[in-house]
Amino acid sequence: MPLIHPALLQSVQPTSTAPAAIRAGVPFVPERFLADEPRELDLPDLRDLVAGLAAAEHLWQPLVRHDPRRRWYTRLVLSGAVEVWLIGWCPGQQTDIHDHGGALGALAVAAGVLDEDECGRDWSISRTRQHGTGAVAGFGTDHVHRIVNRGQLRATTIHAYSPPELPLRYAPRQLASLDQPVPLDRADVAQRGARSAAVAAGAGAGAARVTTAAPPTTDPFAPRPRAGHPRLTSGMSV
């Protein structure tokens, strides 16, 4: 039986075979993502899933928290096919350099701006890309990176991984402790000012507006056993 955050219960695509409690609502989480048996999704599926959830501001905005003491996160979906996380980032918060254990993944920036330090096979940073509100990034099974909020504003992201709950691998400690990003691509440099201004304008008016359908240690980016799933909550995981 898939685990679904209560906030999404009214957004699962109705089907005749789905449990009665999840047969109503808008198809933000289509049935193919909720298989209980092991199943691997493809990258377009993951990108579409996080993009749709990020665009559904009314679903994630009441849930997300931004804790300056530590990065906040909660799991939205866990099935045999995928796991989905909602994460709140305060300025200065980041993950360690990591891969995803052979899983495909995607992230969507629901609000704010984050940097992604992409790394090579030697775990060293090869380039830094900036992802603003509405951006969607997908990554393959061998992708290595670090996500950082280097700005002055809070950010919110939604992440999906398939297959779910694979153990992550981390850079050697001496590399993971380095915090020197490489210069942004020319295209990113040109867009940084416009994106930052747009985020600032949105924050001044309240919550940043998502305009398009556009991963750590003991949190979403840590190894987790498949058996005995913990109950989903909207608070901080430990």
- Binding positions for Fe cation: 98, 100, 145
The length of the chain in residues reads 238
Among candidate residues 30, 134, 39, 132, the one with its CA nearest the CA of residue 82 = 39
Q: Residue 97 is encoded by which pair of tokens?
A: 């350099």
As annotated, the binding site includes 98, 100, 145
How many helices (H) and strands (E) in the chain? 4, 9
SS (H, E, C) 194-221: HHHHHHHHHHHCCCCCCCCCCCCCCCCC
Tell me which amino acid residue 205 is. A
For residue 129, which of 85, 212, 54, 187 has the smallest C-alpha distance?
A: 187
